Amino acid sequence: MTTSLLGTSFIGYSRSAGTEPCGNAVQPGTGSKLEPAYLTATPDEVDHAMALAAAAFPVYSNLSGKNRAVFLRAITTEIETVVDDIVERGMLETALPEPRLRGETARTTGQLRMFANLIEEGSWVDARIDRADPDRKPIPKVDLRSMLRPLGPVAVFCASNFPMAYSVAGGDSASALAAGCPVIVIAHASHPGVAEIVANAVIRAAKLTHMPEGVFSVLYGGGRKVGQAVVKHPVTQAVGFTGSRAGGTALMDSAASRKQPIPVYAEMSSVNPVVILAGALERGEEALAEAFFGSLTLGVGQFCTNPGLVFLANGNGEKFLTKLKTLIEAGTPGMMLNAAICQSFADSTAAFAATPGVETLARSTAEAGPGQGAPAVFIVSISDFLKNEALQSEMFGPATLIVRGSLEEIEAAIPHLEGQLTASLHATDAELAANSSLIHALQTRAGRLIFNGFPTGVEVCNSIVHGGPFPATSDGRSTSVGTMAIFRFCRAVAWQSFPDAALPAELQEANPLGIKRIMG
């Protein structure tokens, strides 16, 4: 590996001198500690990082979209020069395979380029212009012009299950930087080395493009200590988080209890229900079972979009269940991201298996080794499912719960589900037409509806919605993937009766940037 790891935080353009250890990365399965030992940012260093971000904000937020786009593209270039180091360290820290890490790195750089294109073009600011009309009766009309402006410094928490795409330079950081907000990242203990490699790349890009110091910092020390300090700090104006419901709600509570409450955009928990109707089964039950099994076990079930809940009408799907049982029993255990996730998966599947009314349809017959999770599938009646809210819990691993009932009971149950990132419906076109109320019910519970497909595989594009009603996310009006993610870190500002020369370029009469504007 060409990158030298120091184990210290990035305080703007400087490295911290913290002395309190926060731990080493641990190799999944073996439990071996990886060097170096990482050091916790001190309270003074946290304050310094926040002061730098506060000073950087008025400079960075007033840069043109084109200048910020140069910075984002420079980050992609710098990341691409160290992709081999990311893969080498990432395989040690997470046990993820090389193709997954290379693919996730490409997704990260592609996302940065997507935001660069968005802000370079400029129309995303939603410029609106209502010209003055002094002759309007009975009251003259004033000149009003508005657009979106960045909120301020943003705290971003790295996710355990995505060392690149939801971490140092992932979607939250990319969208916040694109909006014009400095970013303070809290590194995750599962992959601190990857975080350091990427942080070095971002800092190099910031220096090369002459960004103000403080536009980016990365702090080690964990969410409970350093993370909470950043969220409570008066400089912080918004939070991006991907992780557990407990972690997300703790941040929401901290942000709400501040003297100045701030928004927390947390992606937390989703079981991504799949509804299978008779027509889809008639096309081929075994093929459907194979496709479902592939989605369930992808990434050892450690994606936020793995399907953890299936509704299957009574009297249908026996071949589907038989094939799925065969696949599960022959399924191979896989290495999970860390010991805590592995233990949580073991605990949650044991709890499901012991729940009254729940039957274990199948488990992998292969013995799971240290740190591994093995496929499992459970089955329950819809009446027992509705009696026990715990059966809506996310197992976060290669396990799912199948709920049996009549189609009428299934439709009636959907409104009782918690909020979800996705909801999938397998049906024919004729069944779609005949079940509009079912589709509407699914729409109220999820951010993305999928027809004849499965939820794994998130397309990073302009129209993607990766959000949903609580607890899928803390704010169901937002997305953490795609260009709409930029709107989380902005607020609308209006200029009334300002002279043209004093207006932002986006609102000036001549439209010097050539962007799309709403004219009143």
Catalytic (active-site) positions: 267, 304
Instruction: Decide if 483 contacts 462 (C-beta within 8 A).
Output: yes
Residue 38: strand pairing partners: 23
Tell me the C-alpha distance between 120 and 178, whole Å.
10
CA 154 to the chain's CA centroid: 15
Q: What is the CA radius of gyration of the chain?
A: 25
Count CB-CB contacts under 10 A for residue 224. Answer: 10
**Of 419, 390, 391, 415, nearest to 404 (Cα)?**
391
Single-letter amino acid code for the residue at 128: R
DSSP-derived secondary structure for 100-133 = HHHHHHHHHHHHHHHHHHHHHH-GGG--EEE--B
Q: How close are the terminal C-alpha atoms of the chain, in Å?
A: 58
Please report, for residues 23, 203, 249, 337, 359, the alpha-carbon distance to residue 90 in angstroms, rounded to integers and kept in the order given: 17, 20, 28, 11, 38
Beta-carbon-side half-sphere exposure of residue 387 (alpha carbons within 13 Å): 9
Single-letter amino acid code for the residue at 50: M
Q: Is the backbone peptide bond immediately before 307 cis, with ω within 30 degrees of 0?
A: no
Tell me the C-alpha distance between 341 and 161, whole Å.
10
Count CB-CB contacts under 10 A for residue 168. Answer: 31
Residue 402: strand pairing partners: 310, 379
Please report, for residues 3, 201, 203, the alpha-carbon distance to residue 178 in angstroms, rounded to integers and kept in the order given: 27, 17, 16
Beta-carbon-side half-sphere exposure of residue 365 (alpha carbons within 13 Å): 5
Tell me the C-alpha distance between 392 and 382, whole Å.
12
Q: Are strands 309-313 and 274-276 parallel, antiparallel or unpaired?
A: parallel
Paired tokens of 65: 């979209």
The CA angle 508-510-513, to the nearest 5 degrees, is 75
Instruction: Decide if 112 contacts 29 (C-beta within 8 A).
Output: no
